[in-house]
A = this chain, B = another copy of it.
């Protein structure tokens, strides 16, 4: 049995993809929808809880980028930096939900202001870490991210999502 006995300040779900496409700006009367698009790599769904702070960001960045959560063509487990793979970050407040009766409640989620700030810091620290790895940069891999608070209209094409959960 898995035992979990600690406070959680952030929850991350990770899925591998061959291709993913996320709406970053919905269509309006003047313009079409805008999309962020990645090829082979990792989709990072991210949610911060109340009591979270910027101290947790380096731990999350380190784990998602350096833990061997990806697979090469020959089945070897490597990190997304080693792959080297694209990265798509998706803010996902629903991940903070807790069921009560038939309802989902989101009382533990960080409020919007804190959530937005931590989300922005997470993206910028990921970018920094990635840019310090010449092999990732020279492969032409990309980091994309969704817009906080938007509906995350997403298309995902996988060769096995290898869904992982990490909590911090």
**Which residues from chain A sit less than 8 Å from chain B, CB to CB?**
1-9, 11, 13, 45, 49-52, 63, 66-69, 77, 79, 90, 92, 94-99, 102-104, 108, 151-167
Count the copies: 2
The 13 listed contacts between A and B (C-beta, < 8 Å) are A1-B9, A1-B50, A2-B11, A3-B7, A4-B167, A13-B13, A13-B163, A45-B161, A66-B102, A92-B163, A97-B165, A152-B158, A154-B158
Residue in B69, B95, B108, B164 whose CB lies within 8 Å of A95:
B164
* Residue from B50, B104, B151, B164 in contact with A67 in the complex, judged by beta carbons closer than 8 Å: B104
A2 and B67 CA atoms in complex are apart in Å by 24
Residues of chain B contacted by A3 (CB below 8 angstroms): 7-8
